[in-house]
Every structure is written in C-alpha cells, then in structure tokens.
Structure 1
Amino acid sequence: MKREQPIGVFDSGLGGVSVLRELVSLLPAEDFIYFGDAAHAPYGERSEREIRALTTAQVDRMAAAGVKAVVLACNTATSAACAPLRRRYRGMPIIGMEPALKPAILSGNRPRVVVMATHATLRQKKFARLMERFKEAGEIVKLPCPEIVEFVERGEIHSDALMRYLEERFSSVSNVPVDCVVLGCTHFPFVRDAIQAVAGQSVQIFDGAAGTARELERRLQELDALREEGRRGTIAWLSSSDDPHYIERAKMLYAL
C-alpha cells in the first residue's frame, strides 16, 4: 500500500456524496474515486444476495484500479456486504456505515428515536443487533422511507411532493413526541432541512458520515498510509448510469 493511492467511495447512487463531503473535509490531501452504481439503484428494495453481489463487483473493480481503502458509503451495502468484503480484502481497509443510533440514544434520558432508512437496512440482522444492544436505553422506532432515495437521485430535494411524502411518513410515528431522528441512509442528509421542518425544530437529527470519516482516518493512520498535508486532493467521478447529466447532479449535491 502506498500513500499516494486513491481512496474508493462506493454507493448505489448519489447518497454517498454526503459521506464523500465529510471524507474530503477531514482528509483534504487525499485523492478519491467516487462510484455510484445508479444503473442498479435503488439497492434498498433488492435482496441481500443481490446487494452483496453488486457491491462486491464494484469493490473488486476499485481494488483492481489500485485504491488503498474503500468506503461503503451506503448503509444497505454495508449491512449486506461489509463483513464478507473484509474477509476478501484483509490487507485493505473496508470502511462501512452504521446508523448513528448510539449517539442518538445517549443524547437524553430514554429518548424516543425514529430511525429513517430503506427497507433493506431495517430488515438486516446487523440493524437488529444494533436495536437489541440499545433497546433498554430508549424507544427505537423504525420508519422505512425508501422513496427519499428516488427524490435525491432526481435532484429533487426541496419540492412540495417531497414535503407531502415526509409528512405522510411521519404521521405514522408522531402520535407520541419524537426526541431524535437517525438518518439511516446516506441519501437522507440531502433532505435534512425538510426532515427537520416536518419532525420539528426541537428534534435532534443524527447521521453517521462524520464517524465514518474518522474511522477511515484512524485506519489509514494505523497503516501509515495518510498522504502528507499541504496538497489539495482530487475527486474522480464515476457512475454506471447512462444519464449524461448524472455526474453533474453528483457534483451539484457535493457543492451544497
């Protein structure tokens, strides 16, 4: 492993751009390759076997391209594929995502926490274990919101249709006051303001991107593989989409 090798960032589409922003903010000297597998999105409605196969195929391509680490900037892909990929690439850090349930639960005295995510993330054993770990510390409510992924993929992050959708979803859990919302999908931070407006300004919102960036930094430090400061890294944008405007949308979201 060489310090000058790039870092791969993978997502099923545009959601991982929210994680990429945190990675670049923390590690500005690093070069990144971002790949969004938009041709096979959304992952959230696929089976675990399909998600694992698609994720593995793209990580294999990144490894062949010479990356020094891969960030699975997708909660769904992490749940389905992170463990087998770590066994497959023992010498290369594979950094996954996890819903930020722990900081949300620890933010108050037995808070009521709503976890927004795709169906696939919420039904995975990984999330079930996370819920079991913290079930005595507060009330955890699962709220599947798969259509948010499609809103973000279209670049539709401020529309009336999005607000109506969020209001409809929150109506099923708002009979009792909500203390915290966990954004369990990397697409969701792009509509954070809309979620805050619907959930209420007093509700705390958590996502796992910053923690993922810190974990990548820690692993690269352990391997003495961080690039020296004093340079500005680059981002290579790649996608499986045949939409000529897809990369433009990715860059637009990155610049928000």
Structure 2
Amino acid sequence: MQRAIAVLDSGVGGLTVVKELMRQLPREKICYFGDTARTPYGPRLAEEVIAFTREIVDYLVQFDPKMIVIACNTATAVALEDIRCRVSLPVVGVIEPGARAAINLTNVDRIGVIGTEGTIKSGAYELALKQLSPRAQVVSLACPSFVPLVENGIFRSREAYRAVAEALQPMRSSDIDCLILGCTHYPFLAAPISEAMGNEVALVHSAEETAREIVSILRARNELADACATPVHHFFCSGDPEKFQYIARDWLGDSIRLTPVVWQVPHIQI
C-alpha cells in the first residue's frame, strides 16, 4: 500500500503547499487535514496551537504516513520541535524553506515578512533569515485580516483587494525588494498583494522550497513513490466540508478527487 505524505494546516492555507507537492511529486499520495473549525491559529496562545497540532498529528499517524508536513506558519513557529520530539517520522515545517527562498532572491538584504499575529510575534522568520544571512534586515507586519478572506472564499473579491491594500500600507515605504508571504493562506491573495506592493517587490512563499526539501528527504530515505503509482488523495477538515471542498477544487482543480470528511473536534484542556 502506498504511504502518504501527511499535511496539516489551520485551515485551507496548506493547500498552497499541496498544490506544489502535486506539481513536483505527482505520484505521491497526500493525506491533508485542515482545522477549519478552529482557524485562525494566529491570535491563539502558543500552548493552544501546540495542543491542536499534537491532536491533529495523533489523528494523522493512524494512516501510517511516511512524513508529516506542518503547512502552517504559526504551528511551525511554536510546535515544530515539539512534534519532532513526539514522532519518529520526518517532520517538515514551512518557515526555514521560505527564509532560504528569500535570501536567495533578495538583492538588497532587506526583506519584508507578513504573517499572522502568532507568527510575527514569535520572531521565527527573523531568526531564520539572520541565521542564513546576518546582514539581512527584516521588516515584519502582522496581517490578521487576511486568513478570514481566504477561509470565506472571497480572496478574489473587491473587498479582498481593498483590505489587502489597507493592511499593507505600512509596508509600502519599507524599501524591501522581496516580501515573504509568511502564512500559507496568503498565496491565495497573491494578486491583491502584488498590486498593493508593486512590481518591484517580489513575492516569496515557502511552498516551492518546502516541496524541494520534501523531495530531498524522501529521496535520501529511498521512500519516493513508485513511478507507476496512481495516488488517491484524502482530505479531512474539522469544519464545513462543503466550503472546504469548494475552495480546494477552486485551488487544486476540478479534476482532483476529494474525499472531505468532517472530524468532530473534541474539547481540549490547555
């Protein structure tokens, strides 16, 4: 039986990573969990995000995955090392890959980062960027209004363009030449973000670099899917499956076979 790559996110944002995984690794089976009932994670306490992430990982390991991808910047920032200590599988986050991509792209060593309140408060991107290049200057901005635009499926609306332009106003005068989309939801808003920032600012998101890292790990472990494999992907969510399926099909394409299953979220004691 083909073992899956398990991917988790606070909602639909991790589908941006899934799309890139499907492009780079079309033979790999994906098992995805979006915690749509409890999104967004950004405003939550770190202890709460860690508890949610542990719970989802415990749920996903029953499917015997060969790798876990935490495709949520907030969860990566606060829970990555915790999960790595709890499971024997390779666990990949999205912050270090995004930082590498930005360092490779910038010409002026001045990099912008936008993300949820939790990700920005953690300072995880600034730490990752400065470890890669001590010369890097980092300008960070929390954009809490962005995730609801995506989760509600209105990321192409006029409202989205207005909200993004207003939120990014402080970043426009920052003299950056690249902007890290430090939340996997934000690539859904790439068009309004690019319009707000202008063509001179390159947008960076971690999906492509994260997928490359996954390829490298699976190849080193000799666990890449067989060249003849025909994967059937499975998608789970903790909230409204119809809304999830609508966004997933819009992003991944109508030809993608989805089996969204609602997971009943238990009460967690923090």
Q: Output the TM-score relative to the length of structure 2.
A: 0.87
Matched, 1:18 2:16: yes
1:128 Cα offset (Å): 4.4
Which residue, out of 94, 98, 101, partners 2:95? 98
Q: Secondary structure at the match of 1:45?
A: coil
Runs ≥4 residues deviating over 4 A? none
Greater CA deviation, 169-178 or 69-78?
A: 169-178
1:178 Cα offset (Å): 3.2
1:34 Cα offset (Å): 1.1
2:66 aligns to what? Answer: 68
Inter-partner Cα distance in structure 1 for 2:58 and 2:125: 25
Q: Is the 8 A contact 1:105 1:137 kept in 2?
A: no
Aligned residues: percent identity?
A: 32
Could you list the runs of 5+ residues in structure 2 that have no partner in the other structure?
Answer: 255-270
Distance 1:255 1:137, change over 3 A: farther
Q: Output the TM-score relative to the length of structure 1.
A: 0.91
Q: Is the 8 A contact 1:110 1:137 kept in 2?
A: no
1:173 aligns to what? Answer: 171
1:146 Cα offset (Å): 1.7
Distance 1:178 1:237, change over 3 A: same
- Matched letter for residue 92 of structure 2: I
Q: Is the 8 A contact 1:239 1:247 kept in 2?
A: no
Could you list the runs of 5+ residues in structure 1 that have no partner in the other structure?
Answer: none
Q: Is the 8 A contact 1:31 1:234 kept in 2?
A: yes
1:4 Cα offset (Å): 1.6
Q: Deviations over 1:81-113 (max 9, x none)?
A: 1111111112x1111111623432443443432
1:186 Cα offset (Å): 0.3
Q: Secondary structure at the match of 2:194?
A: helix
Count of aligned pairs: 253
Inter-partner Cα distance in structure 2 for 1:158 and 1:139: 31
Which residue, out of 144, 147, 150, partners 1:146? 144
Matched, 1:187 2:169: no
Higher relative contact order (CA 8 A, sep 6+): 1
Q: Is the 8 A contact 2:103 2:133 kept in 1?
A: no
1:112 aligns to what? Answer: 110
- Matched letter for residue 231 of structure 1: A
1:245 Cα offset (Å): 3.0
- Matched letter for residue 96 of structure 1: G
Q: Deviations over 1:153-185 (max 9, x none)?
A: 011111121111121122212234331111100
Which residue, out of 203, 220, 223, partners 1:222? 220
Q: Is the 8 A contact 2:106 2:178 kept in 1?
A: no
Which residue, out of 161, 164, 167, partners 2:162? 164
Matched, 1:241 2:239: yes
- Matched letter for residue 43 of structure 1: Y
Distance 1:31 1:107, change over 3 A: closer
Distance 1:167 1:242, change over 3 A: closer
2:205 aligns to what? Answer: 207
Distance 1:77 1:176, change over 3 A: closer
Inter-partner Cα distance in structure 2 for 1:185 and 1:40: 16
Q: Is the 8 A contact 2:29 2:231 kept in 1?
A: yes
Provide the alpha-carbon RMSD of the alignment: 1.9
Inter-partner Cα distance in structure 2 for 1:173 and 1:210: 24
Q: Is the 8 A contact 2:103 2:129 kept in 1?
A: no
2:263 aligns to what? Answer: none
Inter-partner Cα distance in structure 1 for 2:169 and 2:155: 20
2:265 aligns to what? Answer: none
Q: Secondary structure at the match of 2:42?
A: helix
Inter-partner Cα distance in structure 2 for 1:59 and 1:71: 10
